[in-house]
Structure 1
Amino acid sequence: MARALILVVDGFGLGAAPDAEDFGDVGANTFANLAAEFYQQSGRKLNLPTLSKLGLINAATAAGKQAPAVTGEAPSTGAYGYAAEISSGKDTPSGHWEMMGVPVLFDWGYFTDKTNSFSAELLEQIYQRTGINAILGNCHASGTNIINELGEQHMKTGVPICYTSADSVFQVAAHEETFGLDNLLTYCQQVREVLDEMQLNIGRVIARPFVGSSPDDFQRTGNRRDYSILPPAPTVLDNIVEAGGKVVSVGKIADIFAHQGISEKFKATGLEDLVNTSIEQLKSQPEGSLIFTNLVNFDQDYGHRRDPVGYGKALEYLDSRLNEIGVELKDDDYVFLTADHGCDPTWHGSDHTREYVPVMVYKRNMPSIDLGERDTFADIGATIAELFEVKAPEYGTSFASKLQ
């Protein structure tokens, strides 16, 4: 019986999607643009020997219509392609849910006013529910910037920092020690309840705890928590669990799926810890297990912060760890590598970008296989369903027969 590991390189796009114009993202290309900036700033090309051997450069060149500035080998093993998104947004839940066979074909609610984002009616309901009668922020903002701007005032007043972005999110930053982590999580749960009762259809409430005493040393911690709405239909994860298999969440996967269709969850902070925990689960989980890992740091630390050099170094680090993952694979094990959206670190603003994402699969002794362009992220879920011999999702076309 199959096992599989899915690694989601959060925010790793391969070029503007066919509908990028609708999102203002024509010209966005996370991989090619960061590689070019990396070369310009460091004087060398990105070195990705394992990912290139698995076909990443070929997939990126086909998707983005340009070859990224990367040193690597010709494809020699593994399946590679790229996929467009059919969901209405370019956010984390939409990408992950579609990946597992349930695209978001409705419109999320958004807070579109950039300087006075939350209405008086919403704030009054939040004040009544939480007992805290003020907020700081109330705007579109970068998470790290707003902590630096308002963190000291927050610590003095005990008033949470609330902000949003182009995504369907309500984010709350608070100091782990002066405000308290438990208080922050309770506050976010109460905000989630208010948003649901008002039927605003906001995808996530995100708790953003931080520590430090001044803007010079404020730092977000690994105790982030996402309070998501449930997917609108059962996902492939639900189908695996219903059939007696296991779904193991590493990182924020459980939060993204509102803990539905999850058998076990393992917290991990930082790229190294996320990879280490994924390898540990490959070593220990039985047949019939799907290990699902979100590598959030690519998006959170480098994409949103517009740090192409840091992003490139993180890609090189991931490349250096892939052979360790390969060593742990049994003959019927598969590794999928993909993304949930783009987050071009050279693009204007600090939001996600509407792009193709990689679709790469590896198992032992697999020849090199070109999967071409996939019409939806849901092809991944359909393939997983076939490999695990569970109910197929409504959306997506399986390419499992090409992987044998």
Structure 2
Amino acid sequence: MARAILIVLDSVGCGGAEDAAAYGDTGADTLGHIAEACAEGRGDRDGLRSGPLHIPNLARLGLSHACEASTGKPLAGVTRSDAPQGQYGYGVEISQGKDTPSGHWEIAGCPVPFKWGYFTALESSFPSDLVAAIIREGALPGILGNKHASGTAVIDKLAEEHIRTGKPICYTSVDSVLQIAAHEEHFGLERLYDLCKKARVLVDPLRIGRVIARPFVGTAETGFTRTGNRKDFSIPPPDETILDRLAAKGRPIVTVGKIGDIFAHRNTGEEIKPFGNAAMWAAALEAFARLPDGGFCFVNLVDFDTEYGHRRDIPGYAAALEAFDRDLPKLEALLRPGDLAVITADHGNDPSWPGTDHTREHVPILGFGPAVPAREIGRRASFADIAATLSEWLGVGTVGPGRPW
């Protein structure tokens, strides 16, 4: 019986979204601009990487072809395979927004049928009654932040005041999100989680997608660092996903990274959540190696987004892509004759783009396996085509409104 693994390279978009203008993202192209920067020397960093973007394994599977189909341009400096060995194309998001839940839910076969709520004001972002309720329910002396902000920047700016006053740092972005940062030792990790659970209930009427606990450690002398104990408190998908269908059929499921949080832990099977791309990829390979026949492994590699996209770090992003590419043959070696592997993304986060937020983009789609015929799959009208293809491959019927390729 076939197995499948789905790998989301968080934020690795490939440009060209037709409705990008509505999001202020006309011209954004995460992969394209990273490749251009590397080809021009703007992706170099001493001791980290240099030269053109080196991703021969992804290129061999058809990544440059997928990007060219999306934008009309191949990846600058990346050797273009004459005969790609995988199935390659790109996906168009039909859900509104450019956020993590929308992208992942649609990939899993459940496009978002409603408009998310957002905190649009750049300063004093949260309604006064919500702030009052958070303070009351959390027995807090107050909150700090209350604005749109980069997480690392707002923690660096407000951490000392947070420790002195006991007030958590609350901030948001263009995503449908309320983020709460607090010091693991001075505020307490479990107390932070409990506060986020209460905030989750408070923002439900506003249709806010996620409340995110952002714990950090450190001192003013050593600097402050976010830890791997982040936890997302999401609303559940509004309809069936591939995870639901597989669980109903009794299939083994393993989810790696923040997949459990994104799907509100609904039918997410064995959840594995190490910290950092390298640890998550190692865990994914180990989980897939022991995955029984008929099983499904769903992986999110978040560092592309959190560590490099939001921080507008082109050399770091390029190095992370190259590291993933180097390790890709380890997965290929684990694939059995009936297996299908799919690599995609949930949105863009162009590190050359103004600001620090996600970008509205197409996403690349690569499919491969020992018995998977290499071919172009073209433009997919919804990310939901991914779930439709995987569910059909696994023999549980077509999940969601997408069309298998």
TM bracket (short chain): over 0.9
Amino acid at match of 1:191: A
Shift of 1:35: 1.5
Name the CA distance, whole Å, in 1 between partners of 2:381 and 2:59: 23
Name the CA distance, whole Å, in 1 between partners of 2:35 and 2:173: 26
Match of 2:90, SS state, is strand
Shift of 1:246: 2.0
Asked whether the 8 Å contact 1:336–1:359 carries over to 2, the reply is yes
Shift of 1:182: 0.7
Q: Which residue of 1 aligns with 2:47?
A: none
TM-score normalised over the length of structure 1: 0.96
Deviations 1:335-371 (A, max 9, x none): 1100000000000111111101011111015442111
Of 243, 255, 272, the residue aligned with 1:249 is 255
Shift of 1:133: 3.5
Shift of 1:234: 1.5
Whether 2:150 is the aligned partner of 1:124: answer no
Amino acid at match of 1:55: G
TM-score normalised over the length of structure 2: 0.96
Q: Which residue of 2 aligns with 1:33?
A: 33
Name the CA distance, whole Å, in 2 between partners of 1:215 and 1:164: 27
Q: Kindly report structure 1 stretches of 4+ aligned residues shifted beyond 4 Å.
A: none
Name the CA distance, whole Å, in 2 between partners of 1:89 and 1:215: 39
Whether 2:84 is the aligned partner of 1:85: answer no
Asked whether the 8 Å contact 2:91–2:380 carries over to 1, the reply is yes
Of 62, 78, 84, the residue aligned with 2:69 is 62
Whether 2:306 is the aligned partner of 1:300: answer yes
Q: Which residue of 2 aligns with 1:147?
A: 155
> Within 5 A, what are the aligned runs for 1:121-270?
121-196=129-204, 199-214=205-220, 217-270=223-276
Name the CA distance, whole Å, in 1 between partners of 2:76 and 2:346: 23
Q: Which residue of 1 aligns with 2:9?
A: 9
Q: Which residue of 1 aligns with 2:107?
A: 99
Asked whether the 8 Å contact 2:241–2:400 carries over to 1, the reply is no
Whether 2:399 is the aligned partner of 1:396: answer no
Asked whether the 8 Å contact 2:368–2:374 carries over to 1, the reply is no
Of 279, 284, 288, the residue aligned with 2:285 is 279
Match of 1:105, SS state, is coil
Whether 2:60 is the aligned partner of 1:53: answer yes
Q: How many residues align?
A: 397
Structure 2 unaligned segments of length 5 or more: list them.
Answer: 45-49
Shift of 1:217: 2.2
Asked whether the 8 Å contact 1:89–1:104 carries over to 2, the reply is no
